[in-house]
Every structure is written in C-alpha cells, then in structure tokens.
C-alpha cells in the first residue's frame, strides 16, 4: 500500500506512550530498591500504602484505590492481600454495605510508610535537582496538561 492510507511504522523510540512507560518503569524501579529489600514491598504494594498514607485517618475501598492509582482491580487485589498478610493494612467491613470494605494503614503500616516516604521524596528531590528550575516547572506543567488531555480523551472514547 502507498499513499496516505498506508499503515505507519511504529517507532517506539519516538512514541510518547512507550517513552513515558519506560521512564515511569525506570524511576519506579530505582525507587523500589529503597523499599523492596528492606520491607519486602512491591511497587504495587508501595503505591497503595502511599495513597493510604496521604490521609491515614481516612480509610479507602479497593475501588477508590483503583481509581487513585489507575491500577487494575487484579493488581490492587493482589497488593491488598499481600499488605494484609504483612499486617501493614487492616480491612474493616462497611456496616451499611457488607459487600464493601474499608482499608487503612495499621500501626506497622504507618511505621513502614514513615520510613519509606522520606526516602522516596529524597530520591525525587535528587532527580529533579538535576533539572534547571525552568525545566522542572515546564515538566510539571506538561505532565499536568498531558494528564488532563488523556483524561478527556479517555472519557470520550
């Protein structure tokens, strides 16, 4: 086939979703080294703990965790099971709707969060310190705008 209807070659080196995925995996993998060996947490485990740790007095459902992390139900379910087994989170059945359960960090979970969060923030600080202030500001603006546009496109598809 030739002309404008010919399929384009997908060049992954310039394909934005691929590049963002590689960047995310690289950063997540580097940060994971901070908590995997010391606390036995996977990236998914830590993401759930990080969300729950943002407001530790406000329990969340698995559905809310899926929405906030953009992880699928299976990933969240597996991470919840691991965190329950580790004793880092507790599950409380909703009295009004016994099909729902609320999850929160336990004392152990808050302790791990307290140890890991500062280390991840320091890693982020070091990463961003290698950019100029202008580059960091542009990055923040572009990420926010890409998220907004992607959310709009996803809602319309």
109-123 confidence digits (pLDDT tens): 999 999 999 999 999
Of 46, 78, 50, which is closest to residue 62 (Cα–Cα)? 78
pLDDT for 95 equals: 86
- What predicted TM-score, i.e. pTM, was given to this entire model? 0.86
Q: Who's near 127: CB < 8 A, 6+ residues apart?
A: 27
101 three-class SS:
strand
Of 36, 53, 46, 67, which is closest to residue 103 (Cα–Cα)? 53
Of 57, 62, 19, which is closest to residue 44 (Cα–Cα)? 62
Query: What would the mean pLDDT of 19-47 be, rounded to a whole number?
Result: 95
Topology of domain 16-155 in CATH is: Arc Repressor Mutant, subunit A (1.10.10)
Query: For the chain, what is the largest distance between any 2 Cα atoms, rounded to a whole number of angstroms?
Result: 64
């Amino acid at each position: 086939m030739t002309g404008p209807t010919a399929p384009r070659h997908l060049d992954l080196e310039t394909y934005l979703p691929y590049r963002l995925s590689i960047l995310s995996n690289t950063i997540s993998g580097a940060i994971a080294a901070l908590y995997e060996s010391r606390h036995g947490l996977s990236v998914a485990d830590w993401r759930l703990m990080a969300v729950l740790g943002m407001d530790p007095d406000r329990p969340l459902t698995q559905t809310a965790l899926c929405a906030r992390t953009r992880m699928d139900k299976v990933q969240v379910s597996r991470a919840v099971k691991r965190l329950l087994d580790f004793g880092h989170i507790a599950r409380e059945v909703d009295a009004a709707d016994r099909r729902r359960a609320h999850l929160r960090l336990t004392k152990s979970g808050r302790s791990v969060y307290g140890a890991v969060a500062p280390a991840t923030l320091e890693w982020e600080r070091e990463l961003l310190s290698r950019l100029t202030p202008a580059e960091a500001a542009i990055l923040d603006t572009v990420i926010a705008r890409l998220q907004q546009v992607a959310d709009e496109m996803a809602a319309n598809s």
